[in-house]
Amino acid sequence: MKQFAHYPFPQLSRRQMLKLSGLAAAALSMPAWLSACGEGGDTTGAEVAPLEVDPARPWWLQNGFEPVFQEVEAHDLPVRGAIPPELSGLYVRNGSNPQNADSPHWFFGDGMVHGVRLENGKAVSYRNRYVRTPLYEHGYAFGEGGPPTGGNNQSNVSAIYHAGRLLTSGEIGFPYEIDPSDLSTIGVQGFAGKLNTSFTAHPKIDPATGYLHFFGYWFLPPFLTYHVADTEGRIIHSQQIGVGASTMMHSFAITESDVVFWECPVVFDLQAALAGELNPFRWTPSYGARVGVMPLGGMGSEIRWVEIDPCYVYHEVNAYRDGDEVVLHVCRLDHTFIDDDVNTPLVHHRWRVNTAGHDLSFRDEIFSTRRMDLPSHDRRFTGRAHRYGWLVDLRTHTETVDLGGIVRLDYRSGDIRVWQPGLARHANEAFFVPAGPSEGEGWLLSYVYDRSTRSSDLVILDAEHVEKGPLAEIPLPQRVPNGFHGVWVPQ
């Protein structure tokens, strides 16, 4: 197997670390999956003006991405259609919302959570709150505030519910605990001092044990560390994973018996960061790409790697073991962090890693060429063979991210079903909430922005029949900017 080069990293002074703090985050420039173009159309037949972008302003500060600044609380919300009475709980979604009306990129605004509480067929309340990080509390401009360690991050990517705690997480740094009753910030969750690296935006809960599996990557050694927290939220296992450099890992996967990492060739260039370059991450195909498999809850020394063609994967739908093979469904890019990212092919792939024998082998299959991302699945089947995945359709646009409708994929039959909300409306990630024991028997929740009215709804879909359109639409008292990842907190 190809040997991966190790990149030297010098010791840093405190002044260099302060300089690095802003540059490291800025390096996470727009990935191609966000700009990738997709099929999509207005199934209503209505005349809709094209989505226009003012070239004088960043796209992430206009249209459905424009930040909101008021923290609103409203009760007894109106409903179009009927909310399933069994759907009782709180839907929370995180996103980037710069408090100073400016940001060098969509990724770099302050974290803001938007939550709708549903009870007994009623939309009881809506709230939105900033995550009270030091960056928010001190009103720091982007890049200020010191190194992005511990709680010194914007916590603007994900929402997670585990061990009775609602957490928000950014790309790096520690997560924050949020009070589900009013979305106020409780404080940094450092796992009783046991977390000494970063916390990923995409942890995984094993449905068999309830354990939380997660990792953190960092710019200095150790570059990658794997952790396990028990059902009480206590870290019970930590392992350093040997990699050759600081590479950007946005997500990973688990099966019922494995942890799966993919290391793609986006390499952090420390010298470029210290020289003041805005984007010190480099697409470096010569570094190579690989997939690693280790036992779930196992030792870092047990990981085995197989080389794959250079590519980048931000998000996977799910993974599972099929005999000797580990199977993953991923949203695969040919490359990222280069000038023509907007034209990067985005294709839905099925990866198969054969673990029989001493050396792993790898097989790459195309499942669908439709351009989709922001995937969801029935989390009761995390790490298990799954039939369904739900993703956001991406429409064609060369100047901005144009989110479209919701797609349901059937991995057994290959069937694809789509809800297109109309060209003036733009769906965000759809989160699955179960209704019955069978996989896919449940509902999807998604914030949908209507640019014709500059308003947002919480939309509820039948997860098995998305093409039939919403069961209910809840008009919200405030527009919800396009954001990232959410979670359901059951009643």
Write out the two tokens for 112: 């803001």
Distance from C-alpha of 478 to C-alpha of 475, rounded to nearest angstrom: 9
Over residues 267-326, the pLDDT tens digits come to 988 887 777 665 678 899 999 999 999 999 999 999 999 999 999 999 999 999 999 999
Residue bearing tokens 């063979």: 385
pLDDT band at 401 (very low <50, low <70, confident <90, very high): confident
Residue bearing tokens 């919300």: 77
Q: What's the fold here for domain 14-490?
A: Neuraminidase (2.120.10)
453 has a pLDDT exceeding 90: yes
DSSP state of 424: T
Instruction: Name, in order, each residue with C-beta under 8 angstroms of 17's C-beta and a sequence gap of 6 or more.
Output: 146, 147
396 has a pLDDT exceeding 90: no
- The region of weakest confidence among 337-341, 389-393, 431-435, 452-456 is 337-341
pLDDT band at 37 (very low <50, low <70, confident <90, very high): very low
Reduced 3-state DSSP string for the chain: CCCCCCCCCCCCCHHHHHHHHHHHHHCCCCCHHHHCCCCCCCCCCCCCCCCCCCCCCCHHHCHHHCCCCCCCEEECCCCEECCCCCCCEEEEEEEECCCCCCCCCHHHCCEEEEEEEEECCEEEEEEEEECCCHHHHCCCCCCCCCCCCCCCCCCCCEEEEECCEEEEECCCCCCEEECCCCCCEEEECCCCCCCCCCCCCCCEECCCCCCEEEEEECCCCCCEEEEEECCCCCEEEEEECCCCCCECCCCCEECCCEEEEEECCEEECHHHHHCCCCCCEEECHHHCEEEEEEECCCCHHHCEEEEECCCEEEEEEEEEEECCEEEEEEEEECCCCCCCHHHCCEEEEEEEEECCCCCCEEEEEEEECCCEEEEECCHHHCCCCCCEEEEEEECCCCCCCCEEEEEEEECCCCCEEEECCCCCEEECCCEEEECCCCCCCEEEEEEEEECCCCEEEEEEEECCCHHHCEEEEEECCCCCCCCCCEEEEEC
20 has a pLDDT exceeding 60: no
* Whole-number pLDDT of residue 46: 56
Q: For residue 20, report the phi and psi dihedrals to the nearest 5 degrees.
A: -70, -30
Write out the two tokens for 306: 């197989």
Cβ atoms < 10 Å from Cβ of 404: 26
Distance from C-alpha of 294 to C-alpha of 164, rounded to nearest angstrom: 28
Residues of the chain with pLDDT > 90: what percent?
76
40 has a pLDDT exceeding 70: no
Distance from C-alpha of 198 to C-alpha of 217, rounded to nearest angstrom: 6
pLDDT band at 104 (very low <50, low <70, confident <90, very high): confident
Higher pLDDT, 145 or 130: 130
Question: Mean pLDDT over all residues of the chain?
Answer: 89
The average pLDDT across 458-487 equals 98
Cβ atoms < 10 Å from Cβ of 419: 25
Closest CA to 294 of 317, 316, 268, 263: 263
11 has a pLDDT exceeding 70: no
Cβ atoms < 10 Å from Cβ of 441: 14
* Whole-number pLDDT of residue 414: 93
4 has a pLDDT exceeding 70: no
Residues of the chain with pLDDT > 70: what percent?
88
DSSP state of 247: B
Distance from C-alpha of 79 to C-alpha of 77, rounded to nearest angstrom: 7
Q: Sketch the domain layout of the chain as residue ranges.
A: 14-490
Give the neighbor-by-neighbor strand order of the sheet with 312-322: 312-322, 325-333, 346-354, 361-368
Over residues 216-249, the pLDDT tens digits come to 998 889 999 999 999 999 999 999 999 999 999 9
49-58: Cβ within 8 A, 24+ apart: 51/397, 51/400, 51/402, 51/423, 51/451, 53/397, 53/399, 53/400, 55/399, 58/103, 58/105
**How many residues are there in the chain?**
491
Higher pLDDT, 53 or 46: 53
